[in-house]
């Protein structure tokens, strides 16, 4: 969850702090607070350590509190504690994301030519935004096991969107030996696959390309 107070304060994610969100906020000199679902703040966690080094205040949430992240009453209580903040929902599926992805699609069309695109699918916001604003076919690599989401995306986009589960990725947020080997192969070519979901997307995209 991101929370913005005017142009001064940004509050980051409940569950996972996005490194891009963190770096964007701190680079713009926004005071930041991170709500973290955890029993204790792990100072050895590289993302949390980066957050703290960048000046972010970390506040832990219990699992029970985290389950209330979409509860209007819980959000209202946070708004009382942090008045004049704009709350941006956790994940990428929201109205603001839709507007941003339209801008991204416009930039993509201006900068390159391609036949199709491939993106990781978590909550479905990115792939939906690109499918709605690009005429091309897409490949969606599901990094979260959500059969309802896959069904809804299939109904909406039909044959324009190919949806796959990555057979060598682990559970959500986990890295299997096969996926680690895939990342190391890229690293040997001086390409660093930095995000949690990017390696899964690249890996299955390569598998798909080899199969056609």
- Using one digit for the tens of pLDDT, what is the confidence trace for 111-124? 988 888 888 888 88
What phi and psi values does residue 74 have, to the nearest 5 degrees? -65, -45
Question: Which architecture characterizes domain 95-211 according to CATH?
Answer: 3-Layer(aba) Sandwich (3.40)
**Confidence (pTM):** 0.65
CATH of domain 2-88: 3.40.50.1100
Q: Give the pLDDT of residue 182.
A: 73
Q: Give the pLDDT of residue 15.
A: 41
Q: Give the pLDDT of residue 12.
A: 36
Q: Give the pLDDT of residue 3.
A: 42
Q: Give the pLDDT of residue 143.
A: 77
- pLDDT mean over 129-136: 93
Q: Where are the domains of the chain?
A: 2-88, 95-211
Q: How many Å apart are CA 10 and CA 34, to the nearest integer?
A: 9
Q: Which one has a higher pLDDT value, 128 or 182?
A: 128
Q: Which pair of tokens denotes residue 83?
A: 């008045």
Q: How many Å apart are CA 60 and CA 44, to the nearest integer?
A: 15
Q: What's the chain's average pLDDT? A: 75
Same topology between domain 2-88 and domain 95-211: yes
Q: Give the pLDDT of residue 103.
A: 92
Q: How far is CA 175 from CA 16, 85, 143, 201, in A?
A: 16, 36, 11, 13
pLDDT at 109 over 80: yes
Q: Give the pLDDT of residue 23.
A: 63
Residues 36-53 pLDDT 10s: 788 888 888 777 787 788
pLDDT at 14 over 90: no
């Amino acid at each position: 969850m991101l929370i913005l107070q005017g142009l001064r304060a940004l509050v980051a994610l409940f569950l996972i702090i996005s490194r891009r969100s963190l770096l964007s906020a701190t680079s713009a000199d926004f005071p930041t607070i991170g709500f973290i679902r955890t029993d204790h703040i792990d100072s050895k966690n590289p993302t949390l350590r980066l957050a703290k080094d960048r000046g972010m205040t970390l506040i832990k949430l219990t699992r029970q509190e985290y389950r209330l992240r979409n509860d209007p009453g819980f959000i209202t209580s946070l708004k009382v504690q942090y008045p004049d903040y704009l709350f941006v929902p956790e994940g990428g599926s929201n109205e603001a994301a839709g507007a941003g992805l339209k801008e991204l699609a416009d930039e993509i069309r201006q900068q390159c030519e391609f036949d199709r695109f491939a993106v990781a699918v978590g909550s479905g916001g990115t792939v939906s935004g690109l499918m709605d604003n690009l005429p091309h076919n897409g490949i969606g690599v599901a990094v979260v096991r959500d059969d309802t989401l896959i069904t809804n995306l299939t109904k909406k986009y039909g044959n324009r969107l190919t949806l796959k589960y990555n057979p060598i990725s682990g559970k959500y947020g986990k890295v299997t030996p096969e996926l680690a080997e895939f990342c190391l192969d890229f690293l040997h070519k001086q390409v660093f696959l930095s995000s949690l979901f990017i390696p899964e997307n690249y890996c299955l995209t390569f598998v798909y390309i080899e199969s056609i």
